[in-house]
Amino acid sequence: MTYCVGMKLDRGLVFMSDTRTNAGVDNVSKFRKLFTWTTPGERSLVLMTAGNLATTQAVVSILEERTKAPSERRPSILELPTMFQIARLVGDTLRDVIQSNAATGQKADSSFNSTMILGGQIKGIEPRLFLIYPEGNFIEASSDTPFFQIGETKYGRPILVRAYHPSMSVEEAVKLLMVSFDSTVKANLSVGLPLDLQFIEKDALCLGASKRIEADDPYFGQISSGWGDALKKAFDSLPPFKF
């Protein structure tokens, strides 16, 4: 499993992903699931992946090779003029990779599927955030649905729904994400630290602050232990039930 959240704020886009990959509980590894590209002053992009690791690595490799090999640079995510076209390229690449595995008649215990969150900004256009499905189609975040989750989305969702506000500062958003990730990590063994954090500031057109939050991160520890106490206090503050 995996847990990733991409969040649209007035001040930009915030992304957080875990790094645990597993094929059964007896086969656990650590892989980066948050990838970035930038042409400073012109665009910055973040892609987060959930699902079959071979699929997601193939997609990212194809996208990166296209940005790197000068002679084959036609559909590059660093050259397409709009975020919509980039989302379409990522979606098409994802669908092609999944189909190329499925078409051989191969079957995995888990499917070859993958879901992705893509966000970024190109000069002259607002920051945009997409959720891309294994079928290659996608939806875009709006003021009604200003954040996307992929992977193990349920445990960490209630606090996001209750505490998110588009006018939050990045620091508040990171705190919120840490609470959401802590609830998920505590409930699902297949989501684990370290976490990767990336901010894309609106109109900065470069990669903003980023951080890898290791398992012994003191702030995450404070959140993790403090949230239990805060929840208990919140619970105690509610009126008592009487039959």
Alpha-carbon span 209 to 124, nearest angstrom: 21
In the list 108, 139, 209, 215, the residue contacting a second copy (rule: CB under 8 A) is 209
Alpha carbon distances (Å) from 84 to 1, 25, 123, 147, 202: 28, 38, 14, 17, 17
- Interface mask toward a second copy for 165-194; x: CB under 8 A: -----xxx-xxx-xx---x--xx-------
Q: Which two tokens stand for residue 37?
A: 């590209």
Q: Where are the beta strands (DSSP E) in 123-209?
A: 128-132, 138-140, 147-151, 195-201
* Number of amino acids touching a second copy (CB under 8 A): 40
CA distance 39 to 36: 11
Q: Considering the rule CB under 8 A, would residue 219 count as an interface residue with a second copy?
A: yes
| Segment lying near a second copy (by CB under 8 A), choices 48-56, 75-83, 88-96, 162-170 | 162-170
**Binding residues for a second copy restricted to 121-160, rule: CB under 8 A:** 154-155, 157-159
1 binds a second copy (CB under 8 A): no
Footprint on residues 40-99 left by a second copy (CB under 8 A) = none
Strand partners, 120: 45, 128
Give the footprint of a second copy on residues 98-117 (CB under 8 A): none
Nearer to a second copy, 105 or 218 (CB): 218
Q: Which of 190, 193, 183 minimizes the C-alpha distance to 158?
A: 183
Binding segment for a second copy among 17-25, 62-70, 89-97, 216-224 (CB under 8 A)? 216-224
Q: By 3-state DSSP, what share of the chain in percent is helix, strand and coil, each rounded to 5?
A: 35, 30, 40
User: What is the DSSP secondary structure assignment for residue 167, as one 8-state letter?
Assistant: T
In the complex, the residues that contact a second copy under the rule CB under 8 A are: 154-155, 157-159, 161-163, 170-172, 174-176, 178-179, 183, 186-187, 209, 211, 219, 222-223, 226-228, 230-235, 237-243
